[in-house]
A and B are shown apart, each in its own frame.
Chain A
């Protein structure tokens, strides 16, 4: 992610006045703060909204079969931040991001059409990024630690939710929802949120130094 940290502007150059030059624009802490400000007056809520927008953008580019979707999502956010920084009033930032993302996508497609195709990038010989890392020791260790760090009821819920297969799975989930006195769809959302936090925890743990 090339966006600045929400609270520490260490890597961001200071930019006192809105720039309007032809040089490549880069996201400054001030521009990022303004972007967050346009999302919410509450900093934490703005940060959460920012994360959701970024996730939406990454999905958008991925589902359009574009490589480096995270880079394109960041590029989209940078452009939106720039517009806001330069004084453009944007009422619906998420919708605006979607519009800009479509433009970025068109540019990517045009570039792809113009660029010559290398032998190793030709269709059918797509770059293999899948790495089967399930047997790696640090990952398993992180998984166990993160699962252990969940509140007991969340841990039990996520384990129970993913037990069984096919029909038995559906019946088990209905039983779980009945026990918790919530609709099955609310159970799905609850399990999804726990899973997301677990995945985030593992990702953070994997990026930590080797003492894990």
Chain B
């Protein structure tokens, strides 16, 4: 089964960091050379890796591996420079601290400026009287600063404690949400299995007539493993396969669908599809001869055509076909 975008990105990042085994490297390279979409995923993973590096979000080990890669590649080095510049130029401007005000020169001149001989003793006496005053002033200012620093530290500690508590709460709520989701998932899997079983029973009971159509509404997202995957049973008498894909709230002028084997062989491709739904929930349906599909796994890619004509991935599905 193919991987989700997130898994693909993780594998691609490991590849770029040189952390994959030889076998995994070769597999990814074969995919990238046979499929431009896979290669674009690799390029995006590189973008994200560079950004993480520039933002100092990589672990120590990954950072070192990445720097090793940059050292032997002028192209990567150039891309890092771009990312730094991009980050700097688009970041929210930080307030500049105002420069300290320049003290007035008039009274300094009075004490340290050029003097006529008669004024020198008066100035010395004045300067000497200022010393304890200045020292007292410095001590007072230092004390106030220390007090403020202490207050700030206390406030900071309180804030951190509060953040910790918030994080703990978030973690707890996420944990319970995870539990809810996994129980929902399990319920769905059970329902699905019981539905499949029911369909099988019905198919077995009713002698399916010649020229029947196998229908399936595909569940979005590519997944690993069999339990949550889209499972289509093609009977001996099945002549047509009808796939319905609910893309959710996406909006393109047209759509294209391709069905490939995990090795990248295209078994079916169609373009210029339009969604009949105009209410914002896009659904597309394709129908083709059942003989195109052999038993095995398939990747179904739906691409959206934007107004400019550029293609973008709208959804990915995995499909397991069983022939009986």
Contacts and interface: CB of A to CB of B under 8 A. Distances in A.
7 contacts: A59-B43, A126-B68, A140-B89, A144-B89, A182-B304, A183-B315, A189-B312
Interface in B83-103: 84-90, 92
Interface of A: 52, 55-56, 58-60, 62-63, 65-67, 69-70, 94-95, 97-98, 126-134, 139-140, 143-144, 147, 159, 162-163, 165-166, 178, 181-183, 185-186, 188-190, 192-193, 195-196, 198-199, 202-203
B71 A128 contact: yes
Contacts of A144: 89
Interface string B45-71: 011000100010100000000011111
Given A60-B29, A162-B90, A127 B71 contact: yes
A183 B250 contact: yes
Interface string B1-43: 0000100000000011010000001000110111010011011
Contact of A193 (B42, B74, B310): B310
B113 interface: no
B285 interface: no
Contact of B85 (A66, A139, A188): A139
Contacts of A159: 90
A113 to B, nearest CB: 17
B314 interface: yes
Contact of A166 (B57, B71, B75): B57
A170 B57 CA distance: 14
Contacts of B92: 163
B34 A126 contact: no
Nearest to A147: B89
Given A98-B29, A195-B47, A189 B73 contact: no
A182 to B, nearest CB: 6
Nearest to B302: A183
A56 B73 CA distance: 14
Contacts of A202: 82
A95 B71 contact: no
A162 B89 contact: no
Given A60-B29, A134-B88, A143-B86, A186 B304 contact: yes
Contact of B39 (A56, A66, A193): A56
Interface string B145-166: 0000000000000000000000
Contacts of A132: 81, 84
B72 interface: yes
Nearest to A97: B33
Contacts of A126: 68, 71-72
Nearest to B44: A192
A133 B83 CA distance: 11
A92 to B, nearest CB: 8
A203 B71 CA distance: 19
B69 A140 contact: no
Contacts of A166: 57
* Top 8 A-B pairs, shortest CB-CB distance: A186-B312, A98-B33, A181-B251, A134-B84, A126-B71, A134-B85, A67-B72, A192-B44
B313 interface: yes
B254 interface: no
Contacts of A147: 89
Given A98-B29, A165-B55, A186-B314, A130 B77 contact: yes
B18 A63 contact: yes
Contacts of B29: 60, 98
Q: Chain B CB within 10 Å — which of A97, A98, A129, A165 has the most?
A: A129
Interface in B246-277: 248-252
A199 B313 contact: no
Given A62-B76, A63-B16, A186-B304, 6 more contacts: A55-B43, A59-B39, A62-B72, A130-B71, A143-B89, A162-B90
B240 interface: no
Nearest to A166: B57
A140 B67 CA distance: 24
Contact of B5 (A58, A162, A185): A185
Contacts of B33: 56, 94-95, 97-98
Nearest to A131: B77
Contacts of A182: 250-252, 304, 312, 314
